Amino acid sequence: MEEGKQEIVNTNKESNLAVAKLNKCPISARKMRLVADLVRGKKVDKALSILKFSSKSPSIYLEKLLKSAITNWQAKNKDKDTEESNLFIKEIRVDGGSMLKRLRPAPQGRAHRIRKRSNHVTLVVQSNTNIKNTLTDGSKN
């Protein structure tokens, strides 16, 4: 297993983390990274409002993915409330996916190759309350 995937598997076992993945999204990774950079490290409520009112097309995919990550966190932590736990986006990673290669007619009988790019997005949401508790416990020593 790759190192990045192994880290996600290990962090996914913790109860304060939740992971959501989006594979083969039909938008180039460069365009998706522009929107992902807007919400990286933000609280979930603020990130949802940023994505909802963004005019860029990848924001629709990321908003749906973020809602999925929140639902995954709720499934792991049934006794906790999402608003009280102060969820934030710990990690958002956009990787290039496969390419669909098409041909476009060009002058004098030639053809130009069109590359329709796709991407894979991994989003990790974490609860902020556990981090605060560990910081306060460490400061007492």
| Whether the predicted model's global pTM rises above the 0.85 cut | no
Q: Which domains does the chain have, with CATH numbers?
A: 11-140 (3.90.470.10)
Tell me the C-alpha distance between 47 and 88, whole Å: 9
* Closest among 120, 123, 124 to 23, alpha carbons compared: 120
pLDDT along the chain (141 residues), means of 10: 62 79 97 97 96 97 97 92 91 97 97 97 88 52 43
